[in-house]
Structure 1
């Protein structure tokens, strides 16, 4: 029983990190009566999220969350000198380079300093072994000077001097560009940003519950229906209900892909009263059914 509680607490820490990574700074880990390292870490994460949230609001920004552009696979084909001979279509998008900037270039140019030592080691090993195959973590540095952690395999092609580097990573995709959510006007506009931010955060933290009416939301956020309705659309270019509905389905899709949770439970977790309602909404949005999503060989349907 104690081991299950510990696993659940670790799971909540992972969930907290996931929410912070996607921009949700209102998620909190519930305190326990334990006085251990996990509890201390949980408190640090809660405090960090609170401080970031306050700083962003005080500076007059609306903080949009991010959506995961689900696992992206990049494939490089290198020659015996580790020069890039070819790559798949996802590479320029993932690394923020134009295709011509990648072609016939030393692969090492795109490795972050943190990964230099491990990449040099893998190069030496691959040079000495015609049947080489290895799996390891690698950090790319992108064209916009950001770090992109990946999980890689490097292997040699049989009957060829070519070397294949496959990488899998998860890319964060901005919902809005920077210029659209920076508020440059005075106090009244900043106050509106705070209200819309709070509404935005509330929706994302209550996707498993029915969405209150616009009138109820206006009372809850000490505003009025007109201000909420048009303020939300001004900042996020969609209606409150459409945003709520879209986010429920996107989160459900991600849960189907990346967890073993049964489909009926995923439907309930995302605020659908019946699996049939979830099934119809999911199929209408994605044009395929929940059971058609690839859950991987070990996932339970």
Structure 2
């Protein structure tokens, strides 16, 4: 649970036990702390309604009546660390833990008995790295207008770890300079938000290599020069160095909290070879991956 909270997920709670001991007391206190942190985010959202949507990430999956996923929004890939091809066309159960699979399979027939229905179901999603995302999901059953039968819509909300941009915060464009010369680029609020998308994309997809900067810039609607120097101005490093930094951070987490082999972790973190991974890891943390686990 602490690992989930460290990653910004304050919607993961521990099931209370029937025992009356120190561990049970600790579970209760952790859940209370989690609720307080979650409530503070909600309060911030209501205190400034104009920025409320920027605090949340909406995860939406559209399925057929058999529970096979037909459409998703982009955030699903980021949250679950999977590519669209690994989600669309697959049953929802492939994204769930075993206990949630049983819960979903048991609940679905009763939902489909009615032409229209809606309920809330607590489900655990898993990532390829074995990390869990536990959340209350709104399940809606409705009739498709195109005559293709009933559809299932699963929605859930997560608070974003990034700070939102307040209205008018970037009224004056941010100047980005190359070297010590005169400013070459002016970043508008929209430019900064696009660069933040690249930042978030790297964090959630460290295993995948980035496209060429020119192609990446076109994908997000800017140019290579603005992307390159804007990213360095905002985050203090180059895009490539940030990718390596995030790969090593992810690898360190997996070494500390899983029993996966060093080779498996290296590949999951996006490194093509173990020696290259070990050298980069030792240069970053001063210890080899095996020494850290040791």
Q: TM-score range by the shorter chain?
A: 0.3 to 0.5
TM-score normalised to structure 2 length: 0.46
Could you state the TM-score of these two structures normalised by the residue count of structure 1? 0.45
State which structure, 1 or 2, has the greater radius of gyration over its C-alpha atoms.
Answer: 1
